[in-house]
Amino acid sequence: MKLFYYPGACSLVPHIALEEIGAPFDTRKVDFALGEQLSAEYLSVNPAGRVPALRTDRGVITEIPAILGFLARTFPESGLMSVTDHFEFARMQGFHMYIATTLHVLFRHISRPEFIIDGDEERRALVAKVPEMADHYFAPIEQRMADGRRWVHGDRYSASDIYLYVFASYLNLGDRGDPGKVPNIWAHRQRVRSRPAVDRALAREGGGMLSMAIFD
């Protein structure tokens, strides 16, 4: 397997998952600062020009929920997701899709407002709305974690914990949501950060446009 990634981007989610699994894999940095995501070489991997992309012996898989589902079913012993209980698998995928379709889309309002709306004033208004909406989208997750559970789905660590860790870490950037409003998520984030697989993934990625310090 080969993971195409950019340091500090959402591709860190499957990167940590691969480290948790322990199966052999290679990485290929797609340098967004140099525009490599729009190169003919990379567009042949992912025509959308985004990361992550995971090359397997059967072809390329894109989008985080799909990659996590593939890894969980390919390496069931990893415990990344429940693969024998179809209801639990669907519940986990539902959590992943929630992050993908709310927080992930919302944060692109900051990184790529020109993709969404025209006009400088309108873009500033769009960006200014992000913290309020981030607080709104994190609130149901914070409520879920308020019962004292250690991990997103209870007592068992899973891919959902990796996903939440990465997106909660973006609150460190200071322009999207208030960490003070999500103490349970913040405590969870520190538990995930203490795992050796996270250390390995961060060390392997090094630096980039987003300072890796936001994940500490």
13 and 52 Cβ atoms separated by less than 8 Å: yes
CATH class of the 2-79+199-215 domain in this structure = alpha beta
Q: What per-residue confidence (pLDDT) applies to 209?
A: 43
Q: Is the peptide bond before 52 cis (omega within 30 degrees of 0)?
A: yes
Q: Copy the structure tokens of residue 93.
A: 């995928």
Tokens of 33: 């600062």
* CA diameter of the chain: 51
Q: What is the pLDDT of residues 126-178, one digit of tens each?
A: 889 999 999 999 999 999 999 999 999 999 999 999 999 999 999 999 999 99
pTM: 0.95
User: Which part of the chain is CATH 3.40.30.10?
Assistant: 2-79+199-215
- The average confidence (pLDDT) of the chain is 94
Residue 17 CB contacts under 8 Å (≥ 6 apart), including other chains: 67, 68, 71, 80, 159, 162
Ranges for all domains in the chain classified under CATH 1.20.1050.10: 86-195
* Structural tokens at position 49: 């020009």
Chain-centre distance of CA 77, in angstroms?
22
| Rg over CA atoms, the chain | 17
Counting residues of the chain whose pLDDT is more than 70, the rounded percentage is: 97
- Are 178 and 184 in contact by the 8 Å Cβ rule? The answer is no
What is residue 207's predicted lDDT score, i.e. its pLDDT? Answer: 57
Asked if residues 54 and 3 have their Cβ atoms less than 8 Å apart, the reply is yes
3-class SS of residue 55 = strand
DSSP label at residue 60: E
Assigned CATH class of 86-195: mainly alpha
pLDDT digits (tens, 9 = 90+) for 11-41: 999 999 999 999 999 999 999 989 999 999 9
